[in-house]
Amino acid sequence: MRVLMTRIFLLGTLMYSSLFGLNYNYWGIFKKNFISSQGRVIDRFNSDVTHTESTGYGMFFAVTYGDKKTFDLIRTWLHNNIKKNEKNLYGWKWGKRSDGTWGMLDMNNATDGDMWIAYSLLLAYEKWNDVGYMQEAKQLIQAIKENTIIKINGKHLLLPAYFGFVKEDYVKLNPSYVIPFIFEKFRIYDHDKIWDSLILDSIDFFQMSALGNLRMHPDWIKFDINEDRYTYFGNESIFGFDAIRVPLFLGYYYKLKKNDYLKDILKGYVVFLKYIKKLDKFIYQIDFKNHKIRYRYPPYGFLAVYKYLYDLFHITPPSSLVKKIEEGIRNETNNYYSFSLLLFTDIFR
C-alpha cells in the first residue's frame, strides 16, 4: 500500500531542546572529544579512523548548533583529505595504514555518509546564504542519484555503496541508510521525480522489510530478486548497531509528517518499548533469524534513542533510564557513535 507523502520543507535551523537540562554543552563536549583542531571528526572507538559518516554527522551537528567556524573547519579537512572515487562519491574511510602512514583506506563510498554531507551543505546554505555550499551539495546529490539508486522489480532501492551490494539474485541493503527526510530535502534542490519515487518506495521498504513478531528492522537485509521479497541476510539480520538509527530517523520523520502510515510502521517499536519497561531490563540485540534476544545494558547512545522514542510516543520510561544515560556520558568519553546518537536525540526533540 502506498500513501501519498506531502512535501515537507525542513528549516535550516532545527529547534533545540535539551535532553536532561543541558544545552549546547553537548556540542562542546563532542567538539572537545571527537573533532581535531584541523577539523577531522574522529571515531575513537574504531582505531581513530575518520569516515564520511562521522564527517557528515559533524557537519550536521555544526550547522544545527549554529557553529559556522567548526562547519567550515570540517568541510576544509574533508576537501583536503577525503578523496572522491571515479563516481564522484567520497571514499568512505580514512585512517592509519599498515605501513604507519595516514590516508585513504577504502575508496568505495558509504551512501549515508555522502547523504549527510550533502544534506548538511544544503542546511548551511539555507542558514548562512553561501551559494558555494549549495553548489557543492548539488554536485554530490547528482552523484548519489546516478550511482546509488537502482530500480529492480519496479522498486527504487538505495544501495549502501555504488559497488559490491548488487548480486545476480539479490541486493544487500541497510535500512538505517534510508532516510526520507533527507530525500525530501534533495528533491527541493534537484527537481528530479526520482526522489518522489524513492520516498514512496522507501516507505514501502520500511513496511515490507520489518522482521520478527515485533516488526522491527535489522542492521542488514536481503532483497531476493527472484522471489521479490525482503528476507534475512545471514547473521547480520539483527536489530543492533546500525538498526538503532531506523526508529530514530523514522521517529523524527513521523514527528515532522504526523502521518498515520508512518505511525503504523513504528508500532512494533512501541510494543518493544513497553516490553522493556515491563521487564525492567534493557535489550542490546535482537537476532531475528535465530529468535534470540540479548539482554544487557547497551551503549548509552542506544538508551538515548530509547528515551527519545518513549517521549515521542508519550510513554513514561523506566526509572533507571536517565541515570544510565548520564553514567554513559561520564564514563564512555571515547564513544563517538553513542555521543552522535545522543546529539541526534537532542536535535530531533
The pLDDT score that the predictor gives to residue 97 is 98
Residue 124 burial by Cβ neighbours in a 10 Å radius (0-12, 13-18, 19+): buried
Q: What is the mean pLDDT of the chain?
A: 92
Q: DSSP labels for 77-89? A: HHHHH--B-TTS-
pLDDT at 191 over 60: yes
What dihedral do alpha carbons 307, 268, 161, 157 form, nearest 10°?
Answer: -140
The pLDDT score that the predictor gives to residue 13 is 28
CA atoms of 266 and 258, how far apart (whole Å): 12
pTM value? Answer: 0.93
The pLDDT score that the predictor gives to residue 163 is 98
The pLDDT score that the predictor gives to residue 23 is 55
The pLDDT score that the predictor gives to residue 19 is 39
How much of the chain exceeds pLDDT 70, in percent? 93
Q: Which pLDDT tens digit goes with each residue over 136-186? A: 999 999 999 999 999 999 999 999 999 999 999 999 999 999 999 999 999
pLDDT at 325 over 60: yes
The pLDDT score that the predictor gives to residue 8 is 32
The pLDDT score that the predictor gives to residue 284 is 86
pLDDT at 27 over 70: yes
pLDDT at 287 over 60: yes
Confidence of residue 297 (pLDDT cuts 50, 70, 90): confident
The pLDDT score that the predictor gives to residue 313 is 96
Amino acid identity, residue 82? I
The pLDDT score that the predictor gives to residue 15 is 30
pLDDT at 342 over 90: yes
Average pLDDT over every residue of 90-108: 98
Confidence of residue 20 (pLDDT cuts 50, 70, 90): very low
CA atoms of 323 and 346, how far apart (whole Å): 16
Q: Which pLDDT tens digit goes with each residue over 229-277? A: 999 998 899 999 999 999 999 999 999 999 999 999 999 999 999 999 9
The pLDDT score that the predictor gives to residue 3 is 40
The pLDDT score that the predictor gives to residue 222 is 98
The pLDDT score that the predictor gives to residue 298 is 92
Q: Can you point out the beta strands (E) in the chain?
A: 50-51, 93-96, 102-106, 149-152, 155-158, 170-173, 221-224, 229-232, 238-239, 283-287, 292-295
Beta-carbon contacts of residue 136 (< 8 Å; ≥ 6 apart): 121
Which residue is it, cell 555503496?
161
What dihedral do alpha carbons 128, 134, 135, 138 form, nearest 10°?
Answer: 170
Confidence of residue 280 (pLDDT cuts 50, 70, 90): confident
Q: DSSP labels for 115-171? A: HHHHHHHHHHHHHH--HHHHHHHHHHHHHHHHHHEEEETTEEEE-SSSSS-B-SSEE
Per-domain residue ranges of the chain: 25-348
Which of the listed CATH numbers 1.10.3720.10, 1.10.3090.10, 2.60.40.10, 1.50.10.10 matches domain 25-348? 1.50.10.10
The pLDDT score that the predictor gives to residue 283 is 87
The pLDDT score that the predictor gives to residue 65 is 95
